[in-house]
Structure 1
Amino acid sequence: MAKFISIFNNKGGVGKTNLTWNIADSLAEKGKNVLLIDYDPQCNLSIAMLGTEKFKSLVSNPAAKTIRAFLQGYLQSTGPGKIHTHTGPHTNTKVKIVAGDFWLNVYSDALNVGNDLLTGNGISKFTAIRTLEHTLNQDGENFDYVIIDLPPSFGGLVRSALYSSDYLIIPCTSDTFSEYCISLIAQMLPQFINDWNTGIQRFKQNNYGSADFDHIGKPKFSGWIFNGYDTRSGKKLRADQAHENNIEQAIQRLVKTLSAEIKNYNAVIDDHEKDYSLGGVEDMNVIIQNSLWQNIPASKLANHQQVKSLTGDKQKWSLEQLNLIQKIKTQIETISDNIISKLV
């Protein structure tokens, strides 16, 4: 059975998309089948993995081969539509993606908490991702992980993804806002779960004995990732270390809050180290730019030349850059190993 993971932080610029892509590729390199859901209207994950031209061809088609094709029927009361999955030119072929679409803004606006969720009448809109994976499973496609890339907001798309997810991973960067946004998640997630429970209760009043949604709507906080820090002389800069310490304290407060306020299930995984860290990835500098330009996961860039500019001029990586690529590869592998071992 697939494990559903939301990678989310209310703060933008924490590397959600890049981490989602690279972690998925690393999991696939370890033999896992991964389905990526680009649930962000900005569609950065789709563009990064598939390339600009391929993505343009998907969204410009009148019958767009994006997530819109599947979701639009929910708004037209015709039920879910056709599912299109795609693979990237340089990403492991065990990773498939349901491409995003700018139209997701429309779907987000249509996810009405009052009319759809709290009344229990539109639960299916909020669990569409589960239906998508179940449909693929019935068609013979099996996945070990479904990983969802999300916008930096607390809107309907995020609610929908969290209700469909088994696990929540929070990426953080070295700044005060990451710490602050962890506290916002601690406030908002219990409210989201309370709304879900209210909706399910109302749903069951009109659907006696139904257990269709009993196993979902129970996301567990499963860890955080420290992303984009700098190292000099083999250790983190003092400022980055200070921010990391503050984030660790915010994570402990998050764990305490979720454990205290969410009563109907255990909202935090059992982490034996009790630090809830899944690992970290240091600042990629020019590596990330090249990764996006060439649609190549960062850990695989050593096998390709560096692109100097969008004009296409190429040159060899320096020894220092090759060492950084290898370090990033190792760091991503550590995170994927922890996901495999901890999210059980």
Structure 2
Amino acid sequence: MKLISVFNNKGGVGKTTLTYHLACALAELGKKVLMLDLDPQCNLTIYGLDSENLHKIWQDEDGFIDDFNATRKKFEDSDFESFNRNHRTIHYILKPIEDGISEPQSLPRPIEVATNLDLIPGRLTLHMYENKIAERWAGLYSGEPLSIRTITQIRAIARRYASESKYDFIIVDTSPSLGALNKVIISTVDGFLVPCFPDMFSLYGIRNIGKSLLEWKKDFDTIYTLISSEKRNEFPERFVSFLGFTIYNAKKYSGRTTLNLAQAAYNYANRIPQTVRDYISSEVRQHLDDEMIDNPIGDQEVMHTHNTLPSMAQKYRVPIWKVPDVTNLEGTDRNTIIGNQAIYKATKNAYKVFTEDLLRRINRLNTNPEV
């Protein structure tokens, strides 16, 4: 199993749209995929679950989020086991560690989104877990067990799901921040990629990510020197690897430049590889060759804007290329969608090419070549 995140601390770059379509493309390539929504905004969840069902899940969990143990005691063992095995949010699953109590033996059942594709939904209250990460961080340096469990729990949950359900990939959606929660997520996944818009903000976003990675790795390396080898084994064997960048959701200007971007956007896009070299430590990108650093993942396949296509995909909770096949299209959408179905359908191959390029990069994590 590989644990992967799509991450940028600059919002509005299509991170969640890319996360969802990457997961769908992997699933259609025959990989078994679980999506974990660790962004409190829950946009990934909305791709897989209608608001009515999501509200019911949240409402059923409210007591556990307030006080897991006290609410658990109101249930008979068999009733709790049934409740716990139903669809639950990632915050519910993390809550026993947040409250410092023992975890249920079984994991909640993921939501089946499509063939080979499942989802653990998000929850707006996830900031509570982030607060516990910050509160317990100092305890890591003395090897305090609850601190270690708090920081390693997200990866531990992913590994349990992978072991039980044989997932090939677990894809994590994150918020656009460099706070305590994302420090833990990004530092403990196997790899991450950065979607960029070709502008100044994305260049600074890469700089911020690179500087944060240096600080985060230094923190974890210090912790590892202070704790026992047994406790060290609860953390990943190595720090996260950078898988590359992709330019995403940029307006297309055919023939203007070699990337079919406006000149200003092209100029920013051309600066991304050097910004990566300058600010993303070679230690976390050593498996990438020069060509992989110089070029966006998937080249131009997912570079240009889809206009309203992602909103239709989210509305009907299917990937863009399957929207024309939805049987219950609303009347106001039907004519527009059917009239543009070739454009919708073409995105399938685009995301396939993107995903296959990403897989080549992920596969290099296993060999970790020196470059």
TM-score, normalized by length of structure 1?
A: 0.86
Give the unaligned 5+ runs of structure 2: 66-87, 364-371
| Match runs of 1:138-287 below 5 Å | 138=163, 140-204=164-228, 209-213=230-234, 215-233=236-254, 235-255=260-280, 258-259=281-282, 262=283, 266-271=284-289, 273=291, 274-275=293-294, 277-279=296-298, 280-287=302-309
Per-residue CA deviations over 1:136-192 (Å, capped at 9, x if unaligned) read 244x31111111100111112111212321101111113210111100111110100
Q: Which residue of 1 aligns with 2:336?
A: 317
Q: Quickly say closer, same or farther: Cα 1:116–1:295, change in 2 above 3 A.
A: farther
Contact 2:34 2:119 survives alignment (8 Å): yes
Contact 1:171 1:225 survives alignment (8 Å): yes
Look up the equivalent residue of 1:144 and give its one-letter code.
D
Q: Quickly say closer, same or farther: Cα 1:111–1:54, change in 2 above 3 A.
A: same
Contact 1:306 1:314 survives alignment (8 Å): no
Q: Quickly say closer, same or farther: Cα 1:142–1:6, change in 2 above 3 A.
A: same
The structural deviation recorded for 1:38 is 0.5
Contact 1:302 1:317 survives alignment (8 Å): no
SS of corresponding position for 2:195? strand
Instruction: Note the aligned Cα RMSD (angstroms).
Output: 2.4
Structure 1 counterpart of 2:311, from 289, 296, 311: 289
Q: Which residue of 2 aligns with 1:19?
A: 18
- 2:126 is aligned with 1:107: no
Per-residue CA deviations over 1:94-144 (Å, capped at 9, x if unaligned) read 111111111211001110264243443212212212211232244x31111
Give the unaligned 5+ runs of structure 1: none
Look up the equivalent residue of 2:100 and give its one-letter code.
S
Q: Quickly say closer, same or farther: Cα 1:115–1:211, change in 2 above 3 A.
A: closer
The structural deviation recorded for 1:314 is 3.5
Percent identity over paired residues: 25
Q: Which residue of 2 aligns with 1:29?
A: 28
Determine the C-alpha separation between the residues in 2 that align with 1:342 and 1:23.
14
Determine the C-alpha separation between the residues in 2 that align with 1:19 and 1:336.
10
The structural deviation recorded for 1:305 is 7.1
Determine the C-alpha separation between the residues in 2 that align with 1:246 and 1:275.
10
Contact 1:3 1:144 survives alignment (8 Å): yes
The structural deviation recorded for 1:272 is 5.3
SS of corresponding position for 2:340? helix
Moved more, 109-118 or 188-197: 109-118
Aligned length: 327
| Match runs of 1:29-108 below 5 Å | 29-62=28-61, 65-81=88-104, 83-87=107-111, 91-108=113-130
Determine the C-alpha separation between the residues in 2 that align with 1:199 and 1:316.
59
Contact 2:36 2:173 survives alignment (8 Å): yes
Determine the C-alpha separation between the residues in 1 that align with 2:328 and 2:351.
20
Contact 2:192 2:241 survives alignment (8 Å): yes
Determine the C-alpha separation between the residues in 2 that align with 1:115 and 1:210.
15
Q: Which residue of 2 aligns with 1:301?
A: 323
- Between Structure 1 and Structure 2, the one with more helix by share is 2
The structural deviation recorded for 1:276 is 5.1
Q: Which residue of 1 aligns with 2:6?
A: 7
- Between Structure 1 and Structure 2, the one with more strand by share is 1
Structure 1 counterpart of 2:155, from 102, 114, 130: 130
Determine the C-alpha separation between the residues in 1 that align with 2:209 and 2:42.
23
Q: Following TM superposition, where does structure 1 have runs of at least 4 consecutive aligned residues deviating by more than 4 angstroms?
A: 208-211, 305-308
SS of corresponding position for 1:222? strand
- 2:365 is aligned with 1:343: no
Contact 1:6 1:165 survives alignment (8 Å): yes
Contact 1:307 1:314 survives alignment (8 Å): yes
Determine the C-alpha separation between the residues in 1 that align with 2:162 and 2:310.
33
Contact 2:13 2:197 survives alignment (8 Å): yes
Look up the equivalent residue of 2:323 and give its one-letter code.
L
Determine the C-alpha separation between the residues in 1 that align with 2:233 and 2:295.
31
Determine the C-alpha separation between the residues in 2 that align with 1:125 and 1:114.
9
